[in-house]
Structure 1
Amino acid sequence: MNRLPEDVSRELERVVRRWRELSADHALAASGMVRELVEDLAATTAGQPVPELGPIVLIDQLRVLVWDAASAGVVDLADRLADLRRSLP
């Protein structure tokens, strides 16, 4: 896969942009929600946990796992990203 589906790409960029706007306190508070999606996508695609590297790296881990999930054909990916974005403070 050379490109993400348009809807997935759009939602991923929205999540990333929103994450970058968060204060450190808000990012730390919201990291559990992001981590949950990262772990779920990792279980679906790689079958193994993702190392806990903190909130600064977490959004990059999400980007990688979204690509893996899209390549694996996860169908509700854009919706899950939109739900995550709406949940961020």
Structure 2
Amino acid sequence: MKSNGFGRWRQNIIVLVDRNHADEVATKLGVLPFKEDGETKQAYFAWTRLTTRAGNDEDVVWDLSALLGVASDRFSWQIDWDASDY
């Protein structure tokens, strides 16, 4: 993770959603998908946020739930923790 120089760390979170909801998620996250997989029919987003501590995965889930809704509410989303830097 990179520091922003002010006591915070920049987390890069990879979020996967169904391609059918890519436009809606792009609007909510403020980023376009960097990849769309035709085989799995998923769109991949690289979402960044700042944190004050490394490994802050609880806040990542909380913030994404606030932005996108709980995964089963309207559409399903998931975090690729292995590809994310948190």
With the shorter chain as reference, the TM-score category is 0.3 to 0.5
TM-score (norm 1): 0.35
Would you tell me which structure has more helix in proportion to its own residues?
Answer: 1
Would you tell me which structure has more strand in proportion to its own residues?
Answer: 2
